[in-house]
Amino acid sequence: RAGARSASLDRGAQAACAAAVSSWLAGGTSCGTSGGGDEVTVTARVDIPSIVPGWDFGSAGRSATMPVDH
């Protein structure tokens, strides 16, 4: 939601997305922005760190949509 709120105010999403997660996960966080017109959708993806060598847990993602502040 932080990334979508920031993008809706035309401030970009990446910095807000990274700031919204724990510092040890922020380096593996990416945010994509889509939409146009009256709303913006931001999808954040966070790499899930592996505590077991050789196991890859992939990433987790979540999307949020906010109205654009005109």
Q: What is the pLDDT of residue 27?
A: 83
Q: What is the pLDDT of residue 61?
A: 94
pLDDT tens profile 50-60 = 888 889 899 99
Q: What is the pLDDT of residue 28?
A: 85
**Are 44 and 50 contacting, i.e. CB atoms less than 8 angstroms apart?**
no
Domain boundaries, the chain: 2-67
* Helix (H), strand (E) at residue 35: strand 29-36
Say whether 31 sits in a helix, a strand or coil.
Answer: strand
pLDDT tens profile 16-66 = 988 888 888 888 888 999 987 899 999 999 999 888 888 989 999 999 999
Q: What is the pLDDT of residue 43?
A: 94
